[in-house]
Amino acid sequence: MAFLIRSFLRARSLHLIMTSSFRRLSTAVNLSDFLPIITLNRPREIRETFGEMSDFSPSLSVCQNLDELLKTQTNGEVFWPKILQLSVTLDRPLLAKALSDFVISSPQRHHNATLIETLVVLAFQKRYTDFLSLYTLLWNRMSSAERVSSAPKLADILSRTPYWETGVDLYSQLSLPSVSILQKLCEGAAQFNSSEACRMVAMLPEFVGVPSDAFFDEFLRHHPTTADWTDNSLTAVGELFSIIKKKHWVVSVNAAHYIADWFKKTGSWDVALNVIIEETTCPACKTKLQVLELTDEYCKSLADEFFRRTFLGECTDDLYLATTPSELKSLRQFLSGQVSPFDCVIDFINAMCFLKIPFERNKAGIQFTEALRKLHHMFNFHRFCLVGRGNPLMKNKVFWEHIKQLGDQTGVSVFSFVTENKSQDDLFMLYMALWSGAQCYLVSNDQYRQHRYTVGPALKFKLSQWQSIRQINIRPAHGHHFLRPSLYDTRLHGSVEAGWHIPYEDKTTKRGQFSPVHWLCISPKH
């Protein structure tokens, strides 16, 4: 065997190595066949080799002999962690069992990296007694620095075992909290039927910390729907739903299906998926959802925070990234010169495109004026502001003559703010609408995702919620061209007594709305 391995390591052609390996695999699998490709770190060749072989179980003596040889090889220490990892990821349970048995037979002779990958195998194979013994040995021999550096990996592994609470202690030591690791620990609490599952979920952050699909699957599976257990289970599920509402979470479509299936099994609830709530009344159960009220004070606070995060940035290096000093000065002068806030801010270029209005001054003037007239009649808007980059149409006299006639007929006032061509005009229209207060609406089909995802999770949620009830979508095929925004709170609604309406994300949705389009309706049978 030693001669074979040395000949492999001396081979200069990877082709010769693989040809020799495949010839061997056609008759019998030899653990040493993997030594060259693993120590040389050839991921593609490693997977090809494993793909050609069936599962096998090397004996303890073979592993011991190879381990002695590895101590004399360059990079030999990477072999055991790598092949342990591959035995799990490529689904070779016999190999995984043999390798983990070899390691735990004499763990003191192995590096920490090997022990950590062995813990992964033991957790995967549910060998929890062996897991605890090896974990205790590893932890006791680690230095303080090693414990800190390995904490994320160990917490993740512990989340798959009954010892997940030990992972919570490790998580508290992380210098940078990880949402994904905490989500894994929540899965562990649910998987092992802990009464602490809801407490764990409550540790997840608002907005971005929604529990994983696996959590919902495990949590609901461990709460029976039989008559003897329904009350206790329903109390636990109700507690989970209260946390979801408090945290402003929108669950995934998979989680929604897990929840729907669980309630169907009880036989006591009417369940409807794919519910679309246009205004405030659920079409499935006829329940009215809570209306989301905006105040001028809230909008002012939101406008100030948005201005600080987008126009000024978090530090002096960010200053004027979205605009220029002169343009920012123009914005302030423009707003300070207004006698009252706007009722409606319009994304001019976006509206022209989606209304299919030609950029020809006379036709554009006539058709855009009619769009303003419809907005005036539908929403009782009186003060409009058109915002956009320096399109010549926005300064054309013929175009504005038609709009002035509308003002003479209806009393509406229409203003415009033209940004520089290089500026991010969408920031200006968002800010102006927020600055104008609770009565102002924004007309656009742009979802402004790039800004919602760069202002931080808390402000992102507030913007999304504001858009859901204050942004008007354009639909040329629609009878009035404009779709009214929703009026309701976009969070989970309901209680154990009244039932629930749970918003969920559907990746196939292409509709230009900002509130969750799909809802899960759960109502008690009467």
User: How many other CB atoms are found less than 10 A from the CB of residue 453?
Assistant: 10
Find out whether 503 and 490 touch, Cβ atoms under 8 Å: yes
Residues 6+ apart with CB under 8 A from 201: 186, 211, 215, 240, 243
Picking from 9-23, 62-76, 88-102, which range would have the lowest pLDDT averaged per residue? Answer: 9-23
CATH number of domain containing 383: 3.40.50.11980
Does residue 402 carry a pLDDT above 80? yes
Give the model's pLDDT for residue 41: 65
> Whats the size of the chain, residue-wise?
526
Does residue 261 carry a pLDDT above 50? yes
Does residue 348 carry a pLDDT above 90? yes
Residues 6+ apart with CB under 8 A from 210: 204, 244, 247, 249, 250, 251, 252
Does residue 299 carry a pLDDT above 50? yes
Does residue 329 carry a pLDDT above 50? yes
Asked if residue 516 is part of any domain, the answer here is yes
Same domain, 393 and 517: no
- Token pair, residue 172, equals 């508290």
Picking from 273-287, 305-319, 411-425, which range would have the lowest pLDDT averaged per residue? Answer: 305-319
Same domain, 284 and 301: no
- Give me the percent of the chain exceeding a pLDDT of 90: 60
Same domain, 279 and 369: no
Find out whether 415 and 386 touch, Cβ atoms under 8 Å: yes
In the chain, what is the straight-line distance between the N-terminal and C-terminal CA atoms, in Å?
A: 76
Same domain, 322 and 411: yes
The half-sphere exposure of 351 on its side-chain side, counting CA atoms within 13 A, is 28
Nearest to 347 by CA among 320, 375, 366: 375
Residue 417: what residue type? F
Mean local confidence (pLDDT), 400-404 = 96
pLDDT in tens, 485-494: 888 888 899 9
Residues 6+ apart with CB under 8 A from 327: 419, 420, 423
- Token pair, residue 8, equals 């492999």
Same domain, 506 and 426: no
Does residue 260 carry a pLDDT above 80? yes
Same domain, 301 and 397: yes
Does residue 3 carry a pLDDT above 50? no
Residue 450: what residue type? Q
Find out whether 427 and 326 touch, Cβ atoms under 8 Å: no
Mean local confidence (pLDDT), 319-348 = 88
Asked if residue 163 is part of any domain, the answer here is no
Q: Which residue has the higher pLDDT, 38 or 107?
A: 107
pLDDT in tens, 33-89: 667 666 666 667 777 777 777 888 999 999 998 899 888 887 788 889 989 998 998
Does residue 16 carry a pLDDT above 60? no
Q: How far apart are CA 403 and CA 413, in angstroms?
A: 9
Give the model's pLDDT for residue 119: 99
Nearest to 262 by CA among 212, 225, 235: 225
Classify residue 281 by its DSSP letter: B
Last residue of a domain, one of 141, 169, 202: 141
Give the model's pLDDT for residue 208: 81
Q: Which residue has the higher pLDDT, 25 or 365?
A: 365
Asked if residue 226 is part of any domain, the answer here is no
User: How many other CB atoms are found less than 10 A from the CB of residue 346?
Assistant: 29
Residues 6+ apart with CB under 8 A from 111: 77, 80, 81
Q: How far apart are CA 314 and CA 109, in angstroms?
A: 51
Last residue of a domain, one of 141, 162, 184: 141
Same domain, 286 and 302: no
Residues 6+ apart with CB under 8 A from 479: none
Q: Which domain holds residue 515?
A: 269-292+489-524
pLDDT in tens, 467-481: 888 999 998 765 557
Asked if residue 208 is part of any domain, the answer here is no
- Token pair, residue 381, equals 């808007």
Same domain, 401 and 370: yes
Taking phi first (over 0 means left), then psi (-120 to 50 degrees means alpha), and beta for anything else, what does residue 286 get?
left
pLDDT in tens, 196-242: 999 999 999 988 899 999 999 999 999 988 776 678 899 999 999 99
Average pLDDT, the chain: 86
**Between vectors from CA 207 to CA 206 and to CA 210, what angle results, nearest 5°?**
85
Nearest to 502 by CA among 526, 518, 487: 518
Asked if residue 356 is part of any domain, the answer here is yes
Picking from 78-92, 121-135, 449-463, 495-509, which range would have the lowest pLDDT averaged per residue? Answer: 449-463
Last residue of a domain, one of 82, 115, 141: 141
Mean local confidence (pLDDT), 418-422 = 85
Same domain, 463 and 513: no
Q: Chain-centre distance of CA 170, in angstroms?
A: 24
- Token pair, residue 15, equals 């082709």
**Where do the H-state alpha helices sit in 278-420?**
296-307, 325-336, 348-354, 361-379, 397-410
Residue 60: what residue type? L
Classify residue 33 by its DSSP letter: G
If you search the block for the tokens 């639909």, which residue do you land on? 475
Give the model's pLDDT for residue 176: 80
Asked if residue 218 is part of any domain, the answer here is no
Nearest to 275 by CA among 285, 264, 262: 285
Quick one: CA torsion of 84, 85, 91, 95, rounded to 10 degrees?
-10
| pLDDT bucket at 522, cuts 50 / 70 / 90 | very high
Q: What's the structural domain count of the chain? A: 3
Q: Which residue has the higher pLDDT, 299 or 277?
A: 299
Same domain, 280 and 307: no
Same domain, 470 and 501: no
Classify residue 423 by its DSSP letter: S
Mean local confidence (pLDDT), 252-270 = 96
Find out whether 56 and 93 touch, Cβ atoms under 8 Å: no
Mean local confidence (pLDDT), 354-378 = 95
Does residue 28 carry a pLDDT above 70? no
Asked if residue 468 is part of any domain, the answer here is yes
- Token pair, residue 334, equals 């423009």
Does residue 506 carry a pLDDT above 90? no
Give the model's pLDDT for residue 25: 33
Find out whether 32 and 56 touch, Cβ atoms under 8 Å: no
Does residue 444 carry a pLDDT above 60? yes
Asked if residue 182 is part of any domain, the answer here is no
Same domain, 499 and 353: no
